[in-house]
Amino acid sequence: MGDKSLDNDAMDIIERYLYGTWMLQKKWSPQLLISDGEGAYLIDKDGKKYLDFSSQLVCVNLGYKNRELIKALHKQIDKIAYVGPALGLEIRAEAAKAFASIAPKNLIKFVFSSSGTEANEDALKIARLYKNPCYKIIARYRSYHGSTATSMSLTGDLRRTVVEYHTNVRGTVFAPDPYCYRCPFNLEYPKCGVACAEYLEYMIEREKNVAAIFMEPITGTNGVIVPPPEYYKIIREIADKYGVLLIFDEVMSGWGRTGEWFAHQRWGVEADIMTTAKGASSSYVPIGITATTKAISDYFEDHFFAVGHTFAYHPLAMAALTAVIRVMKEHNYVYHAKRLGGYIRKRLFELMSKHPSIGDIRGVGLFWAVELVKNRNRKTPFNTDEDKILGRPLVTGEVASRMRELGVLVMYWITHLVIAPPLIVDTDDIDRGIDALDEALKVADEKVEK
């Protein structure tokens, strides 16, 4: 299995020279030294296999060693690895045509970048140029749109609040979330009248100069929050009434994850701009995409398009994108995710009666959250944002650690675990992941208020 001294050196070097992300550095050390991967599984230096139950950061949608993706990347790198975005390449034409075949039909022109963060920056810039002099953006509190200064200004969670004094970009106002489990208005659906959506009209009328509404159709890291079915129809109507753009961030929720190519298609609502990334290449290479309507693209025929990147339309990213779309169509992975959604829902809800630490389970397709609480009746969380910022132990982290011991890797945030396995999994894989979660939840159950 290799030289263990070299393995130890690698772990020490990583910890010494590389920053751990979103944490106190004294808490930082790599969880595992990964040496290989196959399908939905990663393999560590000792040969132990781990089911990747969250597709890493909800991004390795087609799993590891997908032969079609690898073949496409080899073919392209053997031909040409890079030319600037001003030059034409056949692979750029192939990728554009492939993406147009699965993109929402009202979105007809695209700019490709290197990440979801860049895609969101491009979307924000395009919206403000198009709607000038209006510049304000309505985003939500439980949101994450990227880690650069501009995309961070759209982010509602703690990752913005700890840095905004130094990097704040003006112009974002935050709206309440469609978080029915913890309704910001203390109301109950459907008697609430979907007040969280209707409230946006109140905001737009008072802000006066709103350019766009910017939202994850299904909230990602901050809890896989699935809104009521009327939510986006109401917001689309409000946006149209006031001439405000509607932008959907499909970085995490796109690419078949929810049983649709893109999550907002579940509700029959169209975006003016859509961003996506992650699953577009199954994260084999960095990629970001910003897609716009014809009205927006027509505007820039006679107005300067102030968007560009060194790695725009990168040949390897275009090759990966083209292969991902081909593989997903051939194997019908979008329908596969929808079909397995019912099974994973059934298995997750079986845990509710067994584990008093489960407060809520929510999701669609292969995109779920399990929210943990120390008091189910009062919905009291185990941890808060402050705990994360100060480096205190998170109960979700303890559960995830126990799952790792059992051979399952899962993504966690402050109050919840994110269950989002690769789209290639079968029911046996899901059973393995849920069984490990069942065992690991005993760690949280022991901490529940009696």
Residue 309 has pLDDT above 90, yes or no: yes
C-beta separation of 80 from 254 below 8 A? no
The structure tokens 């003006």 sit at 170
58-111 pLDDT, tens digit each? 999 999 999 999 999 999 999 999 999 999 999 999 999 999 999 999 999 999
pLDDT beyond 90 at 3: no
List, in order, residues 6 or more apart from 271 with CB less than 8 Å away.
104, 106, 107, 246, 247, 248, 264
pLDDT digits (tens, 9 = 90+) for 345-359: 999 999 999 999 999
What is the percent of the chain with per-residue pLDDT over 70, rounded to a whole number? Answer: 98
Mean pLDDT for the chain? 96
Q: Taking residues 134-152, report their average pLDDT.
A: 95
Question: Which residues belong to CATH 3.40.640.10 in the chain?
Answer: 67-331
pLDDT band at 161 (very low <50, low <70, confident <90, very high): confident
96 burial level (CB within 10 Å; 0-12, 13-18, 19+): middle
The 10s digit of each residue's pLDDT in 283-306 is 999 999 999 999 999 999 999 999
Tokens representing residue 418 in the block? 């994110």
Confidence of residue 166 (pLDDT cuts 50, 70, 90): confident
pLDDT tens-digit series, residues 7-30? 678 999 999 999 999 999 999 999
User: Is the pLDDT confidence value at 372 over 90?
Assistant: yes
How far, CA to CA in Å, does 324 sit from each of 10, 71, 198, 289, 332? 32, 12, 38, 14, 12
Residue 40: exposure state from Cβ atoms within 10 A (0-12, 13-18, ≥19): buried
pLDDT for 7 equals: 65
Domain 67-331 has CATH 3.30.390.10: no
How confident is the model at residue 4, as a pLDDT?
Answer: 53
User: What average pLDDT score do residues 156-171 get?
Assistant: 84
Distance CA 58, CA 50 (A): 16
For 239-283, the pLDDT digits (tens) are 999 999 999 999 999 999 999 999 999 999 999 999 999 999 999
327-333 LR contacts (CB < 8 Å, sep 24+):
327/62, 327/66, 327/68, 327/69, 328/62, 328/255, 328/256, 328/423, 329/102, 331/424, 333/61, 333/62, 333/256, 333/423, 333/424
Q: What is the pLDDT of residue 6?
A: 54
Which residue spans of the chain are classified as CATH 3.90.1150.10? 31-60+333-445
Q: In this predicted model, what pLDDT tens digit does every residue of 381-401 receive, in sequence order?
A: 999 999 999 999 999 999 999
* pLDDT category of residue 165 using cuts at 50, 70 and 90: confident
pTM of the model: 0.96
Instruction: For 182-237, write each residue's pLDDT tens digit.
Output: 999 999 999 999 999 999 999 999 998 999 999 999 999 999 999 999 999 999 99
Indicate the pLDDT class of residue 1, thresholds 50, 70 and 90.
very low
CB atoms within 10 A of CB 36: 13
Neighbour tally for 53: CB within 10 Å: 26
- Amino acid (one-letter) located at 416: H
Q: Which two tokens stand for residue 68?
A: 């079609």
Does domain 31-60+333-445 bear CATH number 3.40.50.300?
no
Torsion of CA 204, 164, 147, 112, to 10 degrees: 50
404-448 tens-digit pLDDT: 999 999 999 999 999 999 999 999 999 999 999 999 999 999 999
If you average pLDDT over residues 166-181, what whole number do you get? 91
CA distance 249 to 262: 10
Asked if 318 and 72 count as a contact pair (C-beta separation under 8 A), the reply is: no
Calculate mean pLDDT across residues 119-135. Answer: 97
Using 50, 70 and 90 to split pLDDT, how confident is the model at 162? confident
